Amino acid sequence: MTGEDPLRDLGVHATGGGGELRIWSGTADAIELCLFDDADPHWITATVPLVRDGNGVWSGSSPLLTPGRAYGVRVSGPPGPGNTFNPSTVLLDPYARGVSRITPGTWRSVVTDEAFDWAGTTKPNVPLDHTVIYEAHVKGLTKLSPQLARELRGTYAGLANNRTVGYLRDLGITAVELLPVHAFASERRLIGQGRTNHWGYNSLSYFAPHPAYASVAAQKAGPAAVLREFKGMVRLLHEAGIEVFLDVVYNHTAEEGIGGPRTSFRGIDNSSYYRQATAGVYVDTTGCGNSLDFSQDAPVRMVLDSVRYWANEVQIDGFRFDLAVTLGRDAMGGFDAEHPLLAGLRDDPALQGVKLIAEPWDVGHEGWQTGNFPDGWSEWNDRFRDSVRDFWLTDLAAARRGEHRAGGTGKLATALAGSADTFAKDRGPLASVNFVTAHDGFTLADLVAYDSKHNLGNGEQNRDGTDNNRSFNFGAEGATRDWRMVAARRRAMRNLMGTLLLSAGIPMITAGDEFGRTQHGNNNAYCHDSELTWLSWQHAGWQRELHAVVAKLLRLRRENPALRPVRYSVPNTHTPSASEMSWYAADGQPMTSHDWADPGTRCLQYVASSTPEVEAPNRVLLVVNGAEHDCTVTLPPHEGVADWELLWTSADDAAEGEMLPVGGEYPLPGPALALFRAVDGVAVDRVPAL
């Protein structure tokens, strides 16, 4: 597009005599701005008819449209399939920077003063290969924190508190990924059951922070204070070198299916925002009642504008796009990797350096697209999750039944090396966001304690949540006092976490997994705003030990660039910033095709040698024993290596520093991992942490 964008500056902007509202609707035939009384948000004190230009932008000004003013719009339009206009309904401005809840189901847009002193703080710009994501819920993270003043617990300010920030920094993560913080509402079904949408995947407004996560003082002061508290959180995390990612839900809205709430888009231009079939029937690829239609310009423009706002005005570092396949569906409903929205987010000059992460599936036709997003995007790697769970859990369960499952070792090896079977070679291992758990599904502790979900408390007769957990309870469902079972579970957690943090790709830890939190077998706790989902900060000794293991693994990841390749290596070719990988059997000899195909192969060795551009050369050896018996390995010979130094093993958290010669034997009781670093030859001293 050349010249000035005719759809610029949507929303409210200050003028010399108050403010101007600009709102887009291509189908409406009249729009009226409604201004509300300062004291009574139900009382409309003034109205302003908006005037349409040739591009569908309706605009109008008022001296009353100043910071703190509650406002909305009423929209009229033609009847007919696809349209749902109702001029009696006051709607939210889709671009409002602040929203206020008046009554259950009733909201007002609020003009905000967006001024903020960033005090010279800039984005940390953590390199992608150093990135470690910590997925957390704003409220759940600190609601039970005994170190915070009560009024700060569960708030943006509580997350920004120096005790919380210090905990995150000391753990070693580089980015906090926040579950949805766009203003959201609970579904009518949940409200009728007396429940709430705790996770927040039901967006009401894409430009306003969720007001209920602000401190009580900020909520009372109004949306501008809520926004300042949010920005203050970002600033303090940035000062500590921690990036902030947002989990964003642009695939559907809180307006649900036809007959659901009419709060904004549905009343402004239903046919231009939502994907529909004949007679106005919604095409739902999200399972939430509606899907935004990204074959049309209005939703594409809105998402680009929203992401630009958060990335530039609020200084957000990255975005994880929920059900991102819906964002890439074309007019025929098919997924297009070069969809204008996906390409636009990547190529927009205003978004350069912003990290983009896709949840690469939805529930529509051909909705599973892991590995198919364009260059410049990273993706949640569900194949990694499944391969790692299978190797350490379901394969062990099968072995106890006398079964041998083929392929598990090869799949684990592929996951460790960066999932080259899933992502195109030119995208590299950093296209993969590796995870073993996430907000939905079992926690790490529950993954090793439950074979089945326990979701009766969700009010859906245990029908909700996946049944494909790939979990293993090691002999009893839920809590047990059997010390053998407890020990096996704790080692399994170390194996799972170790695999996650020692694999090529971008690791993501779910908040609380670093100390083994439980949800008592609930694998879909989206509707529980309670101690079931809030993190407990009262920890037993074994939880503190697990936390120390995770912190140590993160330190080892920082210190050893061979664990963090940027590119895939190419055989017989020097590839900068890759890790050249070699695989050995237990006897120290190279793995053969027979070894890979043998379902009895559960013990192998993996050498990764970095080919750095900006860090010192580095070489590590990872020994894997995936069986419940000892495996004595012969440490493999490797060019330039004289000895191997033990850095960590899940079999004994305290074991480290032992020097073993090439060709020496190392007994590893299984199931377990052991990490070594090469000494002498090409190996060098540890690289300082960032």
Task: Give this prediction's pTM.
Answer: 0.96
- The pLDDT tens digits of the residues spanning 223-255 come to 999 999 999 999 999 999 999 999 999 999 999
Q: What is the pLDDT of residue 351?
A: 98
- The pLDDT tens digits of the residues spanning 642-653 come to 999 999 999 998
Domain assignment of residue 309, yes or no: no
What does DSSP assign to residue 444?
H
> What CATH number is given to the structural domain containing 596?
2.60.40.1180
Residue 136 — pLDDT band, cuts 50, 70, 90?
A: very high
Residue 6 — pLDDT band, cuts 50, 70, 90?
A: confident
Contact 208, 98 (CB under 8 A): yes
The yes-or-no verdict on residue 355 having pLDDT over 80 is yes
Q: Which of 317, 322, 362, 395 is catalytic?
A: 322
Give the chain's radius of gyration (CA, Å): 27
Contact 582, 590 (CB under 8 A): yes
Q: What is the pLDDT of residue 690?
A: 36
Contact 621, 678 (CB under 8 A): yes
Task: For residues 571-598, give the mean pLDDT.
Answer: 94
Q: What is the pLDDT of residue 619?
A: 96
Query: For residues 555 and 154, what is the distance between their CA atoms, to the nearest angstrom?
Result: 28
Q: What is the pLDDT of residue 3?
A: 56
Q: Which domain covers residue 664, as residue numbers?
A: 381-451+462-524+567-690
Structure tokens at 273: 């925002």
E strand segments, 50-190: 51-52, 57-62, 70-76, 98-103, 106-110, 133-136, 175-178
Q: Please give the distance of CA 316 from its chain centroid, rounded to a whole number.
A: 14
Task: For residues 272-276, give the mean pLDDT.
Answer: 97
Q: What is the pLDDT of residue 689?
A: 37
What mean pLDDT is reported for the chain? Answer: 95
3-state secondary structure of 301: helix
- The pLDDT tens digits of the residues spanning 80-104 come to 889 999 999 999 999 999 999 999 8
Structure tokens at 512: 């609380």
3-state secondary structure of 403: coil
The yes-or-no verdict on residue 38 having pLDDT over 80 is yes
The yes-or-no verdict on residue 683 having pLDDT over 70 is no
Determine how many CB atoms are found less than 10 A away from the CB of residue 272: 20
Domain assignment of residue 129, yes or no: no
| Backbone phi and psi for residue 21, each to the nearest 5 degrees, phi listed first | -105, 130
Residue 2 — pLDDT band, cuts 50, 70, 90?
A: very low
CA neighbor of 282 nearest in space, from 86, 89, 84, 464: 84
Number of domains in the chain: 1
The yes-or-no verdict on residue 202 having pLDDT over 90 is yes
3-state secondary structure of 78: coil
Q: Which of 177, 187, 317, 359 is catalytic?
A: 359
The yes-or-no verdict on residue 687 having pLDDT over 80 is no
Contact 355, 318 (CB under 8 A): yes
Domain assignment of residue 360, yes or no: no
- The pLDDT tens digits of the residues spanning 296-339 come to 999 999 999 999 999 999 999 999 999 999 999 999 999 999 99
Q: What is the pLDDT of residue 279?
A: 85
From residue 684, alpha-carbon distances to 249, 552, 560, 645, 687 in Å are: 45, 20, 10, 12, 8
Structure tokens at 45: 């004190």
Domain assignment of residue 433, yes or no: yes
CA neighbor of 212 nearest in space, from 109, 201, 200: 200
Domain assignment of residue 363, yes or no: no
The yes-or-no verdict on residue 70 having pLDDT over 60 is yes
Domain assignment of residue 503, yes or no: yes
Active site residue 5: no
Domain assignment of residue 95, yes or no: no
Active site residue 359: yes
Q: What is the pLDDT of residue 278?
A: 85
Instruction: Tell me which amino acid residue 404 is.
Output: H
Task: For residues 192-196, give the mean pLDDT.
Answer: 94
In sequence order, the 6+-apart residues with CB closer than 8 A to the CB of 610 are: 561, 562, 565, 578, 579, 617, 618, 619
Domain assignment of residue 606, yes or no: yes
How many CA within 13 A on the CB side of residue 191?
A: 8
The yes-or-no verdict on residue 1 having pLDDT over 50 is no
Q: What is the pLDDT of residue 688?
A: 37
